[in-house]
Structure 1
Amino acid sequence: MADDHAQVQEFFTARAADWDARFPDDGPAYAAAVAEIGLSPGDAVLDAGCGTGRALPPLREAVGPEGTVIGLDLTPAMLAAAARAGRDGSGALMLADVGRLPLRDGVLDAVFGAGLVSHLPRPAEDLRELARVVRPGGRLALFHPVGRAALAARQGRQITGDDLRAERNLRPLLADSGWHLATYVDEDDRFLALAVRQD
């Protein structure tokens, strides 16, 4: 697992400085995805694998000044880029592993994860850990600003049958990890899977 973490850190460290410049038009897609979570003022939400923190401003707007927003990432360079962009003003930045969250059981109302699932070294265990910190009935939003086919085309590869984001793979993975997949959208201009924390 340490090797998996090192690979993720290496990948994102090399890209942190120009990440936002590479994807300058994603802001509205992030805001639209956050709007679909159904957050309320005063809610507590975690942006898991927050990267440069592009979801933090819309998350803060959704929960208001009395809410709690945490941006968590495994890569120090990504958190530094989030701070340079001023997004630490929208939420607390935390260096931590999704698989070992420094949070109490049931303390969150929701988790937002952009591009998260494909970078989890132990998907079932890591999603179970996210479920641990979310109250029953709380929500999980797995998001990407482009769909699976568009992302594969952008990366010059084919979608394979073992893609964790495919509905036939994601639904049982979530169910085994304490979540119920409520809605699933995989279109060229967005991927959004919304799940509810089971009792």
Structure 2
Amino acid sequence: MSDAAERSRTREFFAARAAGWDAKFPDDGPRYAQAIAELRLDAGQFVLDAGCGTGRALPLLRAAVGPRGTVLGVDLTPEMVELARAHRRHAAVLVADCTRLPLADAGVDLVFGAGLISHLPGPGTGLRELARVTRPGGRLALYHPVGRAALAARHGRRITPDDLRAEPNLRPLLAGCGWRLTGYTDTDTDERYLAVAVRTHDDRTHDDD
């Protein structure tokens, strides 16, 4: 499938589900709060919520960076962004493609991506673009409020060896896109998935998606 077709499929999938998204997962809030607290953001930092969906993380990210910080939510799906704009006092929100972000180089301190990795076209193209906008030493947090096994079970599947989010697959992918994996948690229960990577100082990347 081409990147354009994949973007279109992602947009259509979330557009049809936007209105009922938060009601479908009512218990995720505390899990988001715990993950964001563990990231230990500093006051005044710039956080990009990539694939922000309905914006459930935006108030938590704002609280973490304080009034001097910057929080920006971007999502490919206009219907999701419209719902996320209910959090406009916490963050700016806009429709944008994570493979073509309207941001300058090396300005972001943390990219927070909840459920993002499996929806990035490529996905190396998106990871390289996120690296472009992140300062050297800045971080990428790939998050999901349940572990891989629990998520697969929700969809009636089992984890396969080629799962992109598995540590042996994710580590080299990130390394080829300007990131170094520094933390990895994947629980067998309904707790969470969290992979944290640091933006390297080496700008060389590889096209081996």
TM-score (norm 2): 0.93
Aligned to 1:45: 47
Distance 2:46 2:97 in 1: 19
Task: Say whether 1:166 aligns with 2:169.
Answer: no
Distance 2:41 2:10 in 1: 29
CA apart distance, 1:38? 2.2
Unaligned runs of 5+ in 1: none
Distance 2:73 2:192 in 1: 21
Distance 2:167 2:88 in 1: 33
Question: What value does the CA root-mean-square deviation take over the aligned residues?
Answer: 0.8
Task: Say whether 1:186 aligns with 2:186.
Answer: yes
Amino acid aligned to 1:90: H
Task: Say whether 1:80 aligns with 2:89.
Answer: no
CA apart distance, 1:32? 1.1
CA apart distance, 1:124? 1.1
Amino acid aligned to 1:129: E
CA apart distance, 1:8? 0.2
CA apart distance, 1:35? 1.4
Aligned to 1:54: 56
Distance 1:164 1:120 in 2: 11
Distance 1:35 1:173 in 2: 26
Counterpart mapping for 1:24-35 below 5 A: 24-35=26-37
CA contact (8 A) 1:37 1:139 kept: no
Percent of residue pairs identical: 64
CA apart distance, 1:87? 1.4
- What are the Cα deviations for residues 48-101 of structure 1, in whole angstroms up to 9, with x where unaligned? 000000110110000001100000000000011112xx2122110011100001
Aligned to 1:107: 107
Aligned structure 1 segments of 4 or more residues deviating by more than 4 angstroms: none
Give the aligned length.
Answer: 197
Unaligned runs of 5+ in 2: 202-209
Paired residue secondary structure (1:182):
strand
Counterpart mapping for 1:133-148 below 5 A: 133-148=133-148
Paired residue secondary structure (1:137):
strand
Aligned to 1:131: 131
